[in-house]
A and B are shown apart, each in its own frame.
Chain A
Amino acid sequence: MIDTPKISLKGLHKQFGQKIVLDSIDLDIMPGESMVIIGGSGSGKSVTLKCILGLLHPESGSIKVDGEETIGMGRKDRKRIQEKFGMLFQSAALFDSLPVWENVTFGLLAAGKIKRPDAKEIAIENLRSVGLSPDVALLSPAELSGGMQKRVGLARAIASKPEIIFFDEPTTGLDPIMADVINELIVERVKEMGVTALTITHDMSSVRKIADKVAMIYKGNIIWSGPRNDIDNSGNAYVEQFIHGRAEGPIQMEVLKA
């Protein structure tokens, strides 16, 4: 019996005005799999993620979650699907008007799933699971370092026990050691919770640590996908150039030379 993909994208197309960002994306992510999408800046990684999350509306194509079409879904059904998602944003996107503990439990409190007096304890529990001490709970996001903000963002993403977690450039802006700490945490949490994960990044050390499978996006299309271990022998000139970070190759950056 073939499993239904947790997320399935077919012919996903998105453009802003005349600019085509996603041409025709086809991608299946199986339950419990950690998929990493790689690609250069402006290749359409973030737009793909935002389309799945329902933050952007594609012009055409299909997005299925657990076999259920999400494009054109009503508000109630969309909310039900959203409850399966957790998301760690590139900038962490913590609510700066709320203390850390309220950030972590925001989704649970807003949905009325927990009572306010219990929220702090639940937040502390989630903060511990990402290696943060309980006293962080009372701080405001502005008092945290970049690495701590990412960890709070991760705690917020896992607090509602989602089935699918999205990671948008989880190590951007962090030093190599903190980046590795975040990568380790992602691997631990994803394996322990048994969730499906979709990460977008251009950090190859993240790819090698987090991914079960890798897909490369270029000019709005998936040009290669396969298991993580195959990436070094992909036989694809675009992938080769990208993973070795070479300026010379088929991917031409639009840089004006003086």
Chain B
Amino acid sequence: MNFLAVMGRITFGFLQAAGRLGIFAATTISHMIAPPFYFRSLIQQMMTIGYYSLPVVGLTALFTGAALALNIYEGGSRFNAESALPTIVVIGIVRELGPVLCGLIVAGRVSASMAAEIGTMRVTEQIDAMATLSTDPFKYLIAPRVVATTLMMPFMLVIVADVIGVMGGFLIATGKLGFNAGNYMSVTMDFLEIKDIYASLTKAAVFGFFISLMGCYHGYYSRGGAQGVGIATTNAVVSACMLILLSNYIVTEIFFAT
């Protein structure tokens, strides 16, 4: 009996959270597409999320591309397939590692910061104050953050991650493993399909939406002072990472399942 009660409570809790998140997402989307738009706030967020995330995303992509090249070369040499290195690096980076690693890094950086900022505003009554000043917090705080992350992920961060990641592999292959630079680039370009790029950018946009949605959602509903903000921040990062990995599989299935 007790066990059933516990299971019931867990199920109700889950359904309640799912419903609240669904309503939050629908409200956010309605504010993203309906005026008024706060362009100043949007540009500020684009700078914070896009421009200031570039160094960490660039470094991650560079070292991942380099390590990937070393691994593929060593693994490929076991069955004389070293020459497949440029192909595997470009497909691995563009289809998978570029968007996923970039998403996870941005989730750690951006989702946490959004949850902490909005959560602090919630517990210090700044969000209530905004509402009393006839300004919808969804319009002013949440919509610009979600739009900025959804745009910056594909059109700035993941494009840069893809290019630098491939460059990391190129530098190791030509500088250390004896590949010819011209051949390497030519093979890379030959095997890269437009579909790979579409998949990469689609994943980036989906990840960007989830990263900002989770940061804003957990911050908006945080309560109970500093501890509540801390919990909201942790939950934002964990749930954003989970959604990135889940949606990564779904988008891959849509694009590449035969």
Contact = CB atoms under 8 A, between A and B. Distances in A.
Interface in B118-139: 121, 124-126, 128-135
Contact of B129 (A54, A79, A89): A89
A160 interface: yes
A240 B13 CA distance: 46
A8 to B, nearest CB: 20
Interface in B134-160: 134-135, 140
Interface residues of A, number: 26
B182 interface: no
What is the predominant secondary structure among interface residues of chain B facing chain A? helix
B36 interface: yes
A91 interface: yes
B126 A110 contact: no
Interface in A52-108: 53-55, 79, 82-83, 85-87, 89-91, 93-97, 106-107
Contacts of A93: 124-126, 128-129
A85 B134 CA distance: 9
Interface residues of B, number: 16
Contact of A160 (B36, B125, B130, B133): B133
Contacts of B129: 87, 89, 93-95
Nearest to A106: B133
Given A93-B125, A110-B140, A87 B132 contact: yes
Given A110-B140, A112-B36, A54 B131 contact: yes
A188 B130 CA distance: 25
A166 B131 CA distance: 14
Interface of B: 36, 38, 117, 121, 124-126, 128-135, 140
The 10 closest A-B pairs by CB, nearest first: A107-B133, A93-B129, A93-B125, A87-B132, A110-B135, A82-B134, A89-B125, A93-B126, A83-B134, A55-B128
Given A53-B131, A91-B125, A93-B129, 5 more contacts: A86-B132, A93-B124, A93-B125, A107-B134, A110-B133
